């Protein structure tokens, strides 16, 4: 990792264990529902892929692409839709799966957007929660890990389009 020092914050084994726990909880909560998983590109691809393989109820899945970072390490505060869903969500039980929540702006925007499309329900699952960065009140329904206000990479989360392939969550230290 040229020019970057990374310290492991959450190991590959810890992630696997927590993803399994979340899948059990989601499977129980959606046992009698029409589960429609919305993965948020690109950061949540690894998390949503591992999560849906562990979920024990039938589901359908689609993707949305949203940007609020660009090439920066901090959210710009402006949410921009890059790709919308291909499938209608009306009457479905929607679970938005996101890599990380910090300011809350992106998930708040997505939740309201999808609620306007008349689903039965909209809930959110995030791998990482940075509550110290919140700009608006938002509490995800399912949380993998709460992390400090540090820039993280790995397990799908990038820095300038790199490091998504790391099997762990690391903190950039320099």
With 0-12 CB in 10 A as exposed, 13-18 as middle and 19+ as buried, what is 98? buried
- Using CA atoms, how far residue 132 sits from 65, 89, 139, 146, 157, in Å, is 25, 32, 12, 10, 19
Which residue in 75, 71, 86, 83 sits closest to 110, CA to CA? 83
Active site residues per annotation? 102
- Tokens representing residue 172 in the block: 């950039």
């Amino acid at each position: 990792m040229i020019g970057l020092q990374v310290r492991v914050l959450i190991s590959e084994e810890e992630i696997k264990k927590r993803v399994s726990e979340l899948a059990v909880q989601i499977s129980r909560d959606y046992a009698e529902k029409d589960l429609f998983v919305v993965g948020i590109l690109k950061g949540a691809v690894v998390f949503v892929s591992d999560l849906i393989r562990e979920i024990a109820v039938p589901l359908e899945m689609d993707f949305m692409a949203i940007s609020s970072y660009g090439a920066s390490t901090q959210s710009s505060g402006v949410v921009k839709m890059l790709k919308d869903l291909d499938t209608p969500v009306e009457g479905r039980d929607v679970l938005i799966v996101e890599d990380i929540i910090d300011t809350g702006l992106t998930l708040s925007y997505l939740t309201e957007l999808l609620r306007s499309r008349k689903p039965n329900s909209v809930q959110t699952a995030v791998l990482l929660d940075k509550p110290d960065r919140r700009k608006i009140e938002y509490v995800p329904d399912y949380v993998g890990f709460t992390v400090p206000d540090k820039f993280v990479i790995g397990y799908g989360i990038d820095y300038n389009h790199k490091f998504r392939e790391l099997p762990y969550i690391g903190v950039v230290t320099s």
